[in-house]
Structure 1
């Protein structure tokens, strides 16, 4: 099983880029914002309380995914809109195990979602123990 932490991170700002403070996924000690190298941030730690609750519910597979059966792990750092692009995954739960798999760049193209997995072919599925995973995600929930 892999271990998930949420750790404060910052996307630097300059010119037209907004500095963004967010909670990054750290899987087995590796921060994923540095791993994917996109100009995207998690939907956790910088939006509204309702958005954080909705994202956590999807990550816990307690709410339906919103992108062709996929969950946005990272979203546009400027607006958080999935239409701007997202790093998505299939998130599934069986008994006390949550799995992230099938990672892809996802974007809106000609009235449909496109999913490009080519940059993530070496990314293997990660599995988390539900109790530990739930505790890690609780950091992102307000009050």
Structure 2
């Protein structure tokens, strides 16, 4: 079988969690996406909500089994030499649908071919094949050198994502902490970070400040984290709307290079939202606002598949009356922007 060589790599990725306007929760998942020729393979699958088998938040034994499968050190888990490439972010059941491919050795090389969407024991390539992808030929040495170190890393489970919530309005922080924990992100509440050991500070991926926390107190917290050598993102006080705060926290936790994101920019002004999209995907845009009685409101503005490029989306004046924000979401990216006045 002839095919041009493709480069093989891995890069941190996430399936963004969140609290949706219909009340549903979407679980936060972290995984290593497959990078082919410098671009996430998942991006070629358009609007697929899925994670790759090397997910950092599954038990080490399962992680190791997935990696050994990709290394062809274990028999194919599905008939016809097929391996799972992407699966459901909520469970591992094939009934939810998985992307599979035949993985085989060809001399020193490794071939991925016949990609398909599969919900049963066998794939129907005519009906559900991803005909625009592959075959992909990888140099065996590069392929194995990329995957094999993961077997050593799997011996130590990756630390769970954690967020430190600092503020005076305990009721709001408690609701936010509960929502974050529901989607799989650990959260603790405190008035400040004084006395917290440096090794514990380094376990927090983000710090969220309530609106009542003053500039001096925020600066003191930042100093403590800097002294601890913690690479931490900071979320300054937004409106006390829980889905909005969850989205902002998810956005802060996303440290990926912009080349690995589907959404790279969001602004809202003059009655419209400007959104930058890097690859074809489904985008949901939601407006949140507080009214004069400090009640929260949410309105879905857009739910559509967008092509790469800059998009200008009109906003309903009623949806952005008063203090308001917009949230743009794909399966792997979340951005938040205030509506400028």
Query: TM-score scaled to structure 2, two decimals?
Result: 0.39
- The structure with the largest helix share of the pair is 2
Name the CA distance, whole Å, in 2 between partners of 1:4 and 1:50. 24
Name the CA distance, whole Å, in 2 between partners of 1:11 and 1:19. 6
Structure 1 residue 139, shift from structure 2 partner:
4.4
Question: 1:138 and 2:148 equivalent?
Answer: yes
SS of match in other structure, 1:41: coil
**CA contact 2:116–2:123 (8 Å) conserved in 1:** no
Name the CA distance, whole Å, in 2 between partners of 1:115 and 1:135. 32
SS of match in other structure, 1:40: coil
| 1:40 aligned partner | 50
| 1:120 aligned partner | 130
| RMSD over equivalenced CA pairs, Å | 1.7
Name the CA distance, whole Å, in 2 between partners of 1:33 and 1:116. 19
Structure 1 residue 133, shift from structure 2 partner:
0.3
**CA contact 1:90–1:100 (8 Å) conserved in 2:** yes
Query: TM-score scaled to structure 1, two decimals?
Result: 0.88
- The structure with the largest strand share of the pair is 1
Structure 1 residue 116, shift from structure 2 partner:
4.6
Larger RCO, structure (CA 8 Å, separation 6 or more): 1
Map 1:57-72; keep pairs closer than 5 Å.
Answer: 57-68=68-79, 69-72=81-84
Size of the alignment, in residue pairs?
140
* Cα displacement string for residues 103-131 of structure 1 (whole angstroms, at most 9, x for unaligned residues): 000102xxx43435645111120011111
Map 1:1-143; keep pairs closer than 5 Å.
Answer: 1-14=5-18, 15-36=24-45, 37-46=47-56, 47-68=58-79, 69-108=81-120, 112-116=121-125, 118=128, 120-141=130-151, 142-143=154-155
Label 1:25 to 1:139 Cα distance change in 2 as closer, same or farther (>3 A): farther
- The structure that has the greater radius of gyration is 2
Q: Which runs of 5+ in 1 are unaligned?
A: none
* Cα displacement string for residues 60-118 of structure 1 (whole angstroms, at most 9, x for unaligned residues): 2121111212100001111122232100000001221000000000102xxx4343564
Task: Out of 30-39 and 67-76, give the one that drifted further.
Answer: 30-39
Name the CA distance, whole Å, in 1 between partners of 2:106 and 2:28. 37
SS of match in other structure, 1:10: strand
| 2:186 aligned partner | none
**CA contact 1:75–1:87 (8 Å) conserved in 2:** yes
**CA contact 1:23–1:140 (8 Å) conserved in 2:** no
| 2:318 aligned partner | none
